[in-house]
Chains A and B, each alone.
Chain A
Amino acid sequence: MAIYLYDDTQVLVQGMTGNQGSFHTRQMVKYGTKVVAGVSPGKGGQELDGIPVYDTVAAAVEKHRIDASILFIPAPFAKDAAFEAIDAGVKVLVMLPEHIPVQDAMEIMAFAKSRGTVVAGPNTFGVVSSGKCKIGIMPNQFFVPGDIGVVSRSGTLCYEIVGNLTAAGYGTSTVVGLGGDRVVGLNFIDVLQEMEKDPETKAIIMVGEIGGSAEEEAAEFIKANITKPVVAYLAGKSAPPGKRMGHAGAIIERGKGTFEGKVKALNAAGVPVAELPFQVPDLLAEALKR
């Protein structure tokens, strides 16, 4: 099972011939992902390690079944590329680029919704169903098959948590990067809902951070809908108020989105919260016993 991505998911890479695009296409292929085509305007007819490159997404879908696409496209051109993929009928879109204007993101999400496309990101590391299909830029070696679902707002931090899990002997079912921006496609609730239904996922780890209200909303949802054990880790306990720490989401405003507020909301939903990454496996072990 897994969610969003499966053994036979056929993947398109938009921006495949670029520096990052070609490097990570090779990494994805190495992981076992079925990358069937690439798109790079003006490079149609070329190949990357035998994978055909097309000028447009429409040209790629004429020749291949495309289930999902990933964007390695600079932010100023990302909206166009996302529209192109959604318009061509791609059902799962992974948007890696950061610094996409927030109004572009809102337009993308509205269009995706109208066409039934699931969007992860922007500013995400991607999605991986461990051992089956990886669409993203995460380091391969940490994503080993298992029964723990992980959903995260933050990229590197998610690797950190998954790395800790792997070291403690836990593999992962599906790991989803929501993205660090203010407007993203998938949110905690969407993913929690899918993981609840996924027979391969036994427990769920939520990786969050200060700022915004996504964790508080997720807490409400968990209380009402999730029966599987959930453990959370939140970054930003030490962050001084009012300072913007990188992510658009990571800003404490108007007393909302504080570390304490999020911990309180999650605890009230029966979700234990780790304050430091290395505490996650122990909390998970306890949660699984209950």
Chain B
Amino acid sequence: MKLYEYMGKEQFAKYGIPVPEGGVASTPEEAAALTEKIGSVVVKSQVLSGKRGKAGGIGFTDDPAEAREFSAKLLGSELCGFTVDKVLVEQKLQIDKEFYLAITVDGAARKPIILASAQGGMDIEEVPEEHMVRQTLDVTIGMQPYMTRDITRRLGVTGGIAKQIQGILLKLYKLYVELDAELAEINPLVISGENVIAADAKVTIDDDSLFRHKDLPVVEERTDAEKKAHALGLSYVELEGNIAVMANGAGITMATLDLIQYYGGSAANFLDAGGGAGIEQTSKALELLLSKNPKAILINIFGGITRCDDVANAFAYVKKNIGIPVPVVIRLVGTNEDEGRAILKEVGIEAYQFMHEAASKAVEIAKGN
């Protein structure tokens, strides 16, 4: 779950990482009032996307009327594919130098990793590798002061600035661990005179950890259908095509999509019904697929923890009680396969043995309609 910049900065402030004076506004009047109070400000639209500046979502002013006008234009508008609900109005910083600082997960090393660069303020992908400082951490000791001293040495900073960055690193790591962040990023970290200030905040919380962060705000990035699927514990992504797909497991769902494309069709969605989907969950998943009015439904189940008889029962239930207005192609093998096939046979459906046969059949049906 990505946090909006203003939420990220609230967390930064809580952990003692310096942020510019400012506040969040939902109306042009609030933006004007904040400008009145702060003086010279930057108005930043709050969307879950980078490249806000280039898209015209960031403006500078010291005039409350101008702040009102600019906010009125931004609020409610579309920016980078998101609707702007709020703007952050904060003190405009004198920028002497910009750094990049982030803590994320190095999957290959199985460790947290610090990324830092004295070339901040731009896309980190564009910073040449030789200007990046990388440092993985051992979680058993976490971030220690000596590491932060070495990082500032490698960044080429000294004196009071180095001391401040060392402090920020320790606090950022504490935040990263305590909030179960996948990413805690400051870009740019600004040197302004004698001070070091986080001019931006990008914090992504690990969705799988949300059960222990009930106090965090909920940020919704999903479409309505995706929300519904998530509530059912399903992994669902909307796509553009006309063949609704349900499979069990992310890998096999992707492979099913690949096969549909191979046979010249297009998938309407990615729906991973996951491991151990029960009758109720499976039937809800089917309802979800139908809500998108596909031309055909392709179900590809290779049962492991998922049992074929459960899937077949769910399918038979939906067919009898809700009705399925579009053709369905089912491939069903694995755990309790014989039981599953027998159940399907009772409702008049012959399950396929191989996924490529099922996929090509679904494409044929979708094209024929």
Report whether B252 and A110 are in contact in the complex, using a CB–CB cutoff of 8 Å: no
Bound-state CA distance A236–B272 (Å) is: 14
- Give B258 Cβ to nearest chain A Cβ, in Å: 5
Q: In the complex where A99-B208, A110-B139, A217-B108 touch, is A153 in contact with B257 (Cβ < 8 A)?
A: no
Distance A20 CA – B302 CA, assembled complex (angstroms): 17
Question: Which B residues, 257 to 290, have Cβ-Cβ distances below 8 Å to chain A?
Answer: 257-262, 267, 270, 272, 274-276
Interface pair B304/A159, CB less than 8 Å apart = yes
Which residue of A has the minimal Cβ distance to B336?
A: A139
- Contacting A at CB under 8 A, from B170-221, are 177, 180, 182, 206, 208-209, 211-212
- Cβ of A60 within 8 Å of any chain B Cβ, yes or no, is no
Contact between chains at A244 and B237 (CB < 8 Å): yes
Which of A102, A107, A235 contacts B255, CB < 8 Å? Answer: A235
Given contacts A101-B206, A125-B304, A243-B270, is CB(A154)–CB(B108) below 8 Å? no
C-alpha gap A123/B351 in the complex (Å) = 28
Of the candidates B110, B212, B254, B335, the one whose C-beta lies within 8 Å of that of A236 is: B254
The one of A27, A157, A238 that contacts B251, using a Cβ cutoff of 8 Å: A157
Enumerate chain B residues within 8 angstroms of A240, measured Cβ to Cβ: 239
The segment out of A35-43, A179-187, A195-203 that lies at the interface is A179-187
Question: Which of the 9-residue segments A45-53, A61-69, A205-213, A281-289 touches chain B?
Answer: A205-213
- What are the interface flags for A76-107 relative to B under an 8 Å C-beta threshold, 1 for contact and 0 otherwise? 10000000000000000000001111111111
Does A249 lie within 8 Å of B305, measured CB to CB?
no
A105-149, CB < 8 A from B: 105-107, 109-111, 114, 125, 137-139
Give residues of chain A (231-285) contacting chain B, Cβ–Cβ below 8 Å: 235-240, 243-247, 249-250, 254-255, 275-278
A247 near B251 with CB under 8 A, answer yes
A235 CB to closest chain B CB (Å) equals 4
Whether A156 lies near B252 (C-beta < 8 A) is yes
Nearest A residue to B107 via CB reads: A182
Interface flag for B91 (CB, 8 Å): no
Assuming A20-B276, A103-B139, A125-B304, is B251 touching A154 (CB within 8 A)?
yes
Tell me the residues in window 313-369 of chain B with beta carbons closer than 8 Å to chain A beta carbons.
333-335, 337, 354-356
Cα separation A243 to B238 with both chains bound (whole Å): 9
A123 to chain B, nearest CB (A): 9
Pick from A185, A244, A245 the residue with the most CB of B within 10 Å. Answer: A245
Residues of B within 8 A of A139 (CB): 302-304, 333-335, 337
Q: Which chain B residues numbered 11 to 52 have a C-beta less than 8 Å away from chain A?
A: none
Does residue B71 face the partner (Cβ distance < 8 Å to A)?
no
B140 cross-chain contacts in A, Cβ below 8 A: 107, 110-111, 114
Contact B270 A160 (CB under 8 A): no
- Chain A residues contacting B209 (CB-CB under 8 Å) are 101-104
Q: Is B112 an interface residue (CB 8 A)?
A: yes
Nearest CB in chain B to that of A254: its residue: B125
Contact A156 B247 (CB under 8 A): yes
Contact present for B302 and A137 (CB under 8 Å): no
Do B302 and A159 touch across chains, with their CB atoms under 8 A apart?
yes
Residues of A within 8 A of B275 (CB): 98, 137, 155
Asked if A75 contacts B208 (CB within 8 A), the reply is yes
Asked whether B93 is an interface residue with its Cβ less than 8 Å from the other chain, the reply is no
Residues on B with C-beta less than 8 A from A100 are 208
Contacting residue for B272 out of A114, A184, A212, A246, CB 8 A: A246
Name the A residues within 8 Å of B270 (CB-CB): 239, 243, 245-246
- Interface size bucket, A side? 35 or more
The complex places the Cα of A237 from the Cα of B125 at a distance, in Å, of 24
**CB of B148 within 8 Å of the partner chain:** no
Q: A105 and B110: CB pair below 8 A?
A: yes
A171 close to chain B: CB less than 8 A: no
A180 to chain B, nearest CB (A): 6
Contacts of A254 in B (CB 8 A): 125
Q: Once the chains bind, are A246 and B258 in contact (CB under 8 Å)?
A: no
A183-B110, A209-B251, A214-B108 are known contacts. Are A276 and B356 too (CB-CB below 8 A)? Answer: yes
Query: Would you call B248 and A250 a contact (CB within 8 A)?
Result: no
Residues of B within 8 A of A243 (CB): 237, 239, 270
* Interface residue from A107, A213, A244 paired with B108 (Cβ < 8 Å): A213
- The answer on a CB contact under 8 Å between A106 and B304 is no
Question: Is A238's CB under 8 angstroms from B304's CB?
Answer: no
In the complex, what residue of chain A is closest to B249 when comparing beta carbons? Answer: A156
Greatest chain A CB density within 10 A among B253, B276, B356 is at: B253
Chain A contacts with B in 10-65, Cβ cutoff 8 A: 20, 24, 27
Q: In the bound complex, how far is the Cα of B125 from the Cα of A106, in angstroms?
A: 25
Question: Residue B63 at the A interface, CB < 8 A?
Answer: no
> Which A residues touch B182, using CB under 8 A?
102
Interface residue A163 (Cβ < 8 Å from any Cβ of B): yes
CA distance A157 to B249 in the complex (A): 7
The list of the 10 closest CB pairs from A to B, nearest first, reads A154-B251, A246-B250, A156-B249, A157-B251, A101-B209, A156-B252, A238-B261, A235-B254, A246-B235, A247-B250
**A-side interface residues toward B, CB under 8 Å?**
20, 24, 27, 75-76, 98-107, 109-111, 114, 125, 137-139, 152-160, 163, 180, 182-185, 187, 207, 209-210, 212-214, 217, 235-240, 243-247, 249-250, 254-255, 275-278
For the A-B complex with A139-B303, A156-B249 known, give 12 more contacts whose Cβ atoms are closer than 8 Å: A20-B276, A102-B105, A102-B206, A103-B206, A153-B251, A155-B249, A156-B247, A159-B302, A183-B110, A212-B108, A237-B258, A238-B254
